[in-house]
Amino acid sequence: MRFNVILEVAEEGGYTVFVPSLPGCISEGETKEEALKNIREAIEIYLESKDEDITVSEGAELAEVTV
């Protein structure tokens, strides 16, 4: 999967990075490389936590689709 991210220079130094398509998925790093590494991890955690929040009602079926 690919996500567009936005890197911003932080006032206190380093970078803040967020994923517009994943509300609340934000990370930071001292360098661009570190910020991008950290946001990859944040995306993985974000997506894993969304899977845990899924409840399937009786008679419904949960399926997986790869994009």
Residue 56 amino acid letter: V
Number of H helices, E strands in the chain: 1, 3
Decide: 39 and 17 in contact? Cβ < 8 Å: yes
Q: Which residue has the tokens 């998925």?
A: 25
Q: What is the pLDDT of residues 29-53, one digit of tens each?
A: 999 999 999 999 999 999 887 766 6
pTM to 2 decimal places: 0.73
Decide: 43 and 21 in contact? Cβ < 8 Å: no
In sequence order, the β-bridge partners of residue 6 are 18
For the chain, percent of residues with pLDDT exceeding 90: 67
Decide: 22 and 43 in contact? Cβ < 8 Å: yes
What is the total residue count of the chain?
67
